[in-house]
């Protein structure tokens, strides 16, 4: 494009189609030396930026003296000050040391980033959330939708708390989720499971599943178990950093004690060490092998399901109150344990019916 000189040294302009109006307008540029090299910079448009030859000359002087930043540098600084959801997430991920951060990252990359990642919280509108839930989360479970929207809310709250951004202009509606699931096995299934555990060629996996059934411990708690967490003399197991948050202690019952005594303690501090003696993170392959051998239902989770079986057995016995069960399961919230209440109520009802039968039997014998 042709350059047109001005009466000011180092200032010229080009003519372009006017933005937002008819005809043409001038776009002003400046030329100056910086670090021994010639620099050419655009300083603004005649109408859109209200730029003139004289203003361009003043800007050139300020640039030479180092009193003014270039338009590019100013844009970059403004961009740094704009806290989009993606930028907030990066800081959130960096500063928050959460167990769930890997799952959160997956949800952010898959669902939030494509739909609201480049927006500031104040610029997100209900239509964005509608698109996110109807397109990005199409076919996903209500729980996945809820966890994704909860993550967005946490990111925004993080921005507000750290004074990096403001709030969204509307409240998020969370879907209602019924995630109360109790996985249970009948006596015949438990019998087949124990046979599959005894027959499995890999004693380590069999031991993990046995401990899950006999103690109700979570998979992560069992795989994190160290030898110094087990007090064989006093009969307790220390659970460090459980899902409930605070460290907890549960009894070392005789069934678990017998399983642990069969394990040879090596150089690793972990009871079930992984490669090079480090913590093992996964035994799904082996657990699924035992599950298949036992003929358990396809939707039964071989480790967390055993935790449910443990809790169900105790609750349905009628001999364990819900407070005790909560402590054994290291539930932080008693509402979580409440899902087993109906099993205990059923056991008490059966006991009550038994008392009635005994009285009726005694009355019948008296009449005889």
Q: Are residues 214 and 105 in the same domain?
A: no
198 and 307 belong to one structural domain: yes
CA separation for the pair 85, 156 (Å, rounded): 7
Whether residue 174 is contained in a domain is answered as: no
Q: What is the pLDDT of residue 360?
A: 67
Instruction: Using the predicted structure, report yes or no on whether residue 201 has a pLDDT greater than 60.
Output: yes
Shared domain check, 334 and 279: yes
Pick the last residue of a domain from 49, 81, 113: 81
pLDDT value at 361 more than 80: no
**What is residue 247's predicted lDDT score, i.e. its pLDDT?**
84
Residues 285, 339, single domain; the answer is yes
Q: Are residues 203 and 253 in the same domain?
A: yes
- pLDDT band at 241, cuts 50/70/90? confident
Q: Write out the H or E segment, with its range, that includes residue 231.
A: strand 230-231
Percent of the chain past pLDDT 70, that is, above it, reads: 90
Domain count, the chain: 3
Beta pairing class for 4-5 and 11-17 = antiparallel
Residues 31 and 139 placed together within one structural domain of the fold: no
Please state, in angstroms and rounded to a whole number, the distance separating the CA atoms of residues 229 and 238: 5
Note whether residue 363 is domain-resident: no
Q: Is there a domain that residue 126 lies in?
A: yes
Q: Are residues 41 and 96 in the same domain?
A: no
Domain endpoint, select from 46, 81, 116? 81
51, two tokens: 């730029």
Question: Do the domain assignments include residue 24?
Answer: yes
64 falls within a domain? yes
The domain containing residue 142 runs over which residues? Answer: 85-161
The yes-or-no verdict on residue 137 having pLDDT over 70 is yes
Residue in the block written with tokens 């039964």: 300
- Say if 352 falls within a structural domain: no
The pTM assigned to this predicted structure is 0.53
Q: Which residue has the higher pLDDT, 361 or 186?
A: 186
pLDDT tens track for 80-129: 678 999 999 999 988 877 666 888 999 999 999 999 999 999 999 999 99
Do 208 and 238 fall into the same domain?
A: yes
Model pLDDT, residue 199: 93
Find the length of the chain: 368
Question: Does residue 227 form part of some domain?
Answer: yes
Is 366 inside any structural domain?
no
Question: Which pLDDT tens digit goes with each residue over 20-53?
Answer: 788 899 999 999 988 888 999 999 999 988 999 9
Would you state the structure tokens that stand for residue 243, as one six-digit string? 């899902």
pLDDT for 275-334, tens place per residue? 888 988 888 899 999 999 999 988 888 888 898 888 888 888 878 888 888 888 888 888
């Amino acid at each position: 494009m042709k350059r047109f000189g001005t009466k000011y040294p180092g200032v010229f302009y080009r003519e372009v189609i006017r933005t937002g109006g008819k005809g043409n307008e001038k776009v002003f540029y400046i030329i100056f030396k910086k670090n021994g090299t010639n620099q050419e910079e655009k300083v603004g448009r005649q109408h859109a930026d209200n730029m003139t030859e004289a203003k361009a000359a003043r800007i050139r002087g300020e640039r030479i003296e180092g009193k003014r930043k270039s338009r590019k540098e100013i844009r970059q600084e403004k961009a740094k000050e704009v806290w989009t959801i993606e930028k907030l997430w990066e800081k959130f991920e960096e500063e928050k040391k959460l167990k769930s951060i890997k799952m959160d990252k997956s949800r952010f990359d898959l669902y939030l980033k494509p739909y609201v990642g480049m927006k500031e919280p104040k610029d997100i509108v209900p239509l964005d959330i509608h698109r996110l839930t109807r397109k990005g989360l199409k076919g996903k479970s209500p729980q996945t939708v809820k966890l994704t929207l909860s993550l967005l809310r946490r990111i925004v709250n993080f921005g507000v708390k750290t004074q990096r951004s403001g709030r969204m202009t509307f409240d998020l509606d969370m879907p209602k989720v019924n995630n109360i699931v109790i996985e249970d096995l009948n006596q015949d299934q438990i019998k087949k499971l124990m046979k599959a555990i005894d027959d499995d060629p890999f004693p380590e996996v069999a031991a993990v599943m046995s401990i899950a059934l006999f103690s109700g411990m979570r998979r992560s708690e069992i795989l994190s178990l160290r030898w110094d967490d087990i007090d064989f003399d006093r009969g307790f197991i220390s659970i460090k950093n459980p899902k409930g948050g605070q460290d907890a202690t549960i009894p070392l019952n005789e069934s678990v004690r017998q399983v642990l005594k069969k394990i040879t303690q090596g150089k690793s501090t972990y009871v079930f060490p992984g490669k090079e003696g480090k913590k093992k993170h996964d035994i799904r392959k082996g657990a699924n092998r035992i599950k298949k051998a036992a003929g358990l239902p396809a939707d039964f989770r071989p480790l967390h399901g055993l935790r449910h079986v443990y809790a169900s057995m105790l609750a349905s016995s009628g001999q364990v109150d819900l407070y005790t069960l909560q402590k054994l399961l290291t539930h932080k919230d008693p509402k979580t344990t409440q899902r087993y209440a109906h099993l205990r109520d059923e056991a008490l009802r059966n006991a009550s019916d038994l008392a009635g039968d005994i009285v009726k039997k005694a009355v019948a014998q008296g009449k005889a």
